Amino acid sequence: MFELQPGLYRRLIARLWKLTLGGILLLILYIVAVSFNFLWLFGGMPSLKALENPQSYQASEIYSEDGVLLSKYYLENRTPIEISQVSPNVISALLATEDARFVKHSGIDARSMFRAISGVLTGRSSSGGGSTLTQQVAKNLFETRTEKFRGVLGKIPYVRVIIDKTKEWILAVRLERNYTKQEIMMMYLNTVSFGNNTFGIKTAAKTYFNKEPWQLNVEEAALLVGMLQNPSRFNPRLYEERSQVRRNVVLSQMRKYGFLNDDQFAVYKQKPIKLDFNIENQNTGPAAYFRSVIKTEIRKWLDEYNEAHPDEELDLETSGLKIRTTLDSRLQRYAEEAVYEHMREQQRKFYEHWRGRNPWVYKDKNKQWREMPGYIETAARRTPRYISLKQEYGDDEQAIWREMRKPVKMKVFTYGGRRNEKDTVMSPLDSIRYYKRFLNVGFMSMDPRNGHVKAWVGGINFKYMKFDHVKQGKRQPGSTFKPFLYLAAIDKNFLTPCDRVTDQPVRFEPYEDHNGPRAWVPNNSNGKWSYQPLSLRQALGRSINSVSAHLIKQAKAASVIEYAHKLGIESELQENPTLCLGTSDVSVYEMVAAYCTFANGGYRVKPLTVLDIRDKNGNLLKSFFAENKLVINANTAYQMLYLMRGAVEDADGTSQRLRTQYKLLEGGNEIAAKTGTTSSYSDGWFMGITQSLVSGLWVGGDDRTIHFRDMAFGQGARIAMPAWGMYMQKVYADPTLKRAFPKGPFRKPDGFNLALDCGGGYAIDSSQRYIPPKVVNPEDEEILN
């Protein structure tokens, strides 16, 4: 047998020691070189400050005033939570699958390291080779494998992997020194991706199971942990069988490490996957239109904040802000439900009304409805699809229209169906025809006492129709504008709600409008005059146009505009006689704000949408308060409420169904209201006031040419008012809202002593002033017939 000589043995041992020490020294030098990016060869490392304050994109959350999470603004949908908010099932599944020795190592596990080295040597380095949870946190949280931290040697494939792994080992050790095991585990669970732009365990639980993370059971926790290996490959929505196999692997690991016994494993692995999938994005969740509108306002405030605080720049999508809005989640839900129920029924009637015909029409000189020629093609030329094809094909109209008529698979909005949409095949041109047939809506509800906007529905479906009809859209308000006219008459000319004006034709001499000079005699909605003296309350309650014409002659259009602007109408108003019938475009947002002045004792209060904004740690950044200003006398405001109560309380009021059908006056409740309908029934409006809520809505086609053809369907009392009635029924039926929004009469101003009792019919009280009729020219009636 060969025997080593003593001298040779000692020399061999000495050489091994030298090699070992030299290797250790080289390793130390290598680690130091990597740590300090020697000669820019290895790329930078996150600073100590970054380790102490790790940053990740964090979604900003939008809350209702009653504390309900409405939605989020985000680039990556992530909401960090504490370990106490996570189900133990998730912790067990994670440890068993990703890092069973997590509690024993200090960031680097020797076994894992050898697997990683083996992976590099065998060419399978991209798999990560058994990284510890701490190393994965270092990779996910500090983006060590991005170009930001890449040096000269990082351009060499295998060398790059070794350098990246080294950085993760170094960071893992540093993280273990700075944080507890629980903190590191939550860094991991709060940052990992679960696919579908879902980051962190809280968002994943909500997205896949509509649960909070502490509610996850064993099989749900195993499914989510199993997805971490490859979220796309093991997506349970797309690959159910594959994800179930992966889930069972996780369950097997849980049995292996003692988190499950054999009987439990046998039961859980047989269970099918049951998802309650609901991905969060800008199109889903309550108040989508509202969130879209206030997003612009919040960005404006953030620009001002960042300019004043350059060292702590905040971003709406990544800084984890907590935004508390004025909405009430219950009122918002009731508004959305009422609007949906009402608009679905109106759409059914609209389809039936236009069966076999297209609804884009105009009246010819014989007052017959005619289809507008080339309407769809004209609309198509304004679409992004047509514009992109125009850029591609230039002046080749034939090629452009060939593409516009080519059928493609698409999803479209529909009432009913799964999530109110359906899969279909139609051409881009057909899709325009399809959507042009829909009626749309804008609804807003506001507390007049403090300006808080409580509910906002900007359309029938935000995913498919993003135009907001509350603040962005403006349409003619029709008779809902009349209260500003009556206000001017009462406040300027010292009339009372019980003073009388005769219902008779009123002629305006030729004046300039967009059609040139013309004379005008406004007609009543039924085409007739009663020639009876009506109190102002009766006239407004029945929406008599001839009385409005008389009043604007007395008060003058300029004065009416002044009052409208004073109460909150900011849109430009045309100074001509037709203003008495509401012919200048305004928004629902403006109208609701202006009507709040009547319920708020003459104080104009600007709508408030956001209460406060806090940073991700809960520190208050900004509080917001409504602006209010006394613009009309409290006594005058109360008289206006009495005037508008006639629409609901009097037998011939346009809103009497709120009393007879919806039973909203029960319990001593008082409601002031006004309906509105415009020419050709293009717009239907309703405005309703209670002591604690002012709400209004518009209903119509996106284009004015799309509408019903007759008063029976197109008037505001039919096409708009029922949604308001259903909304208020839901509000009053909720016992949790009785204190905040109770039924009851309007508060009478202190010292108010004017007797308000106009009575009904045409009887004239001798105590009430009578405005005698003027001599009527018989030709006036012929002008209108």
Is 638 in contact with 748 (CB distance < 8 Å)? yes
Per-residue pLDDT band for 371 (boundaries 50, 70, 90) equals: very high
Q: Which two tokens stand for residue 493?
A: 């000319």
Closest alpha carbon to 268 in 285, 284, 283, 250: 250
pTM: 0.82
Tens digits of per-residue pLDDT, 521-561?
888 988 899 999 999 999 999 999 999 999 999 899 999 99
Above 90 in pLDDT, residue 687? Answer: yes
Above 90 in pLDDT, residue 644? Answer: yes
Q: Which of 296-310, 386-400, 485-499, 506-520 has the lowest mean pLDDT?
A: 506-520
Closest alpha carbon to 202 in 47, 69, 10: 69
Handedness of CA 90, 93, 97, 100 (dihedral sign): positive
Under 8 Å CB-to-CB from 180, ≥6 apart: which residues?
Answer: none
Per DSSP, the residues of 96-131 read HHH-TTTTTSSS--HHHHHHHHHHHHTT-GGG--S-
Q: What percent of the chain has pLDDT over 70?
A: 84
Would you give the distance in Å from CA 191 to the centre of its chain? Answer: 26
Torsion of CA 589, 594, 599, 601, to 10 degrees: 140
Closest alpha carbon to 563 in 601, 592, 602, 532: 602
Q: Where are the alpha helices (DSSP H) in 473-623?
A: 482-493, 536-542, 545-555, 557-567, 588-599
Above 70 in pLDDT, residue 206? Answer: yes
Residue 33 has φ and ψ, to the nearest 5°, of: -65, -40
CA–CA–CA angle 420, 424, 425 (5° rounding): 155
Q: In Å, what is the CA distance from 184 to each residue of 106, 140, 156, 755?
A: 11, 12, 31, 74
Q: Find the mean pLDDT for residues 379-394.
A: 92
Is 53 in contact with 174 (CB distance < 8 Å)? no
Handedness of CA 768, 769, 775, 781 (dihedral sign): negative
Q: Find the mean pLDDT for residues 684-702.
A: 97
Q: Is 725 exposed, middle or buried (0-12, 13-18, 19+ CB in 10 A)?
A: buried
Pairing label, strands 500-502, 533-535: antiparallel
Tens digits of per-residue pLDDT, 702-726?
999 999 999 999 999 999 999 999 9
Residue 165 has φ and ψ, to the nearest 5°, of: -65, -40
* pLDDT for residue 115: 60
Q: Which two tokens stand for residue 11?
A: 């020399």
Pairing label, strands 421-426, 60-63: unpaired
Measured from the Cβ of residue 562, the count of other Cβ atoms closer than 10 Å reads 16
Q: Which two tokens stand for residue 616?
A: 């991700």
Residue 199 has φ and ψ, to the nearest 5°, of: -125, 135
Give the C-alpha separation, 411 to 356, whole Å: 24
Q: Which amino acid is at 517?
A: P
Per-residue pLDDT band for 784 (boundaries 50, 70, 90) equals: very low
Residue 365 has φ and ψ, to the nearest 5°, of: -65, -20
Give the C-alpha separation, 302 to 295, whole Å: 10
Give the C-alpha separation, 420 to 434, whole Å: 15
Q: In Å, what is the CA distance from 196 to each residue of 66, 237, 281, 533, 681?
A: 30, 10, 10, 67, 45
Above 70 in pLDDT, residue 126? Answer: no
Under 8 Å CB-to-CB from 297, ≥6 apart: which residues?
Answer: 609, 610
* pLDDT for residue 41: 64
* pLDDT for residue 767: 37
Which neighbouring-strand residues pair with 604? 629
Is 107 in contact with 176 (CB distance < 8 Å)? yes
* pLDDT for residue 763: 34
88-98 and 133-142 helices, crossing angle to 10°: 100
Q: Which amino acid is at 37?
A: N
Q: Which two tokens stand for residue 77?
A: 């949908």
Above 60 in pLDDT, residue 776? Answer: no
Above 50 in pLDDT, residue 738? Answer: yes
Closest alpha carbon to 314 in 302, 298, 297: 302
Q: Find the mean pLDDT for residues 590-597.
A: 98
Measured from the Cβ of residue 151, the count of other Cβ atoms closer than 10 Å reads 17
Q: Which of 73-77, 155-159, 576-580, 775-779 has the highest mean pLDDT?
A: 576-580
Q: Find the mean pLDDT for residues 33-52.
A: 61
Which neighbouring-strand residues pair with 457? 443
Under 8 Å CB-to-CB from 214, ≥6 apart: which residues?
Answer: 85, 86, 87
Closest alpha carbon to 447 in 300, 599, 551, 271: 599
Measured from the Cβ of residue 72, the count of other Cβ atoms closer than 10 Å reads 23
Q: In Å, what is the CA distance from 607 to each residue of 220, 287, 293, 445?
A: 44, 16, 13, 10
SS3 content of the chain, % helix, strand, coil (to 5): 45, 15, 40
Is 482 in contact with 462 (CB distance < 8 Å)? no
Q: Which two tokens stand for residue 162?
A: 């070794």
* pLDDT for residue 494: 67
Handedness of CA 291, 294, 296, 299 (dihedral sign): negative
Q: Which two tokens stand for residue 430?
A: 């057909």
Torsion of CA 416, 421, 422, 423, to 10 degrees: -170
Give the C-alpha separation, 232 to 196, whole Å: 8
Q: Which two tokens stand for residue 680?
A: 């050709």
Closest alpha carbon to 12 in 512, 20, 420, 338: 20
Helix (H) or strand (E) run with residue 78 in it: strand 77-78
Q: Which two tokens stand for residue 108?
A: 């680097």
Q: Find the mean pLDDT for residues 728-734.
A: 98
Is 580 in contact with 485 (CB distance < 8 Å)? yes
Above 80 in pLDDT, residue 38? Answer: no
Q: Which two tokens stand for residue 300?
A: 């404006």
Give the C-alpha separation, 546 to 501, whole Å: 9
Q: b or e along 672-693 (b: 16 or more beta carbons within 10 Å of the residue's beta carbon)?
A: bbbbbbbebbbbbbbbbbbbbb
* pLDDT for residue 682: 95
Is 705 in contact with 678 (CB distance < 8 Å)? no
Give the C-alpha separation, 601 to 751, whole Å: 13
Tens digits of per-residue pLDDT, 414-454?
998 777 889 999 999 999 999 999 999 999 999 999 999 99
Q: In Å, what is the CA distance from 320 to each residue of 52, 200, 583, 647?
A: 18, 14, 45, 48
Is 592 in contact with 694 (CB distance < 8 Å)? yes
Give the C-alpha separation, 92 to 785, whole Å: 83
Per-residue pLDDT band for 146 (boundaries 50, 70, 90) equals: low
Above 80 in pLDDT, residue 73? Answer: yes
CA–CA–CA angle 730, 731, 732 (5° rounding): 95
* pLDDT for residue 751: 84
Report the Cα–Cα distance between both ends of the chain, in Å, rounded.
Answer: 131
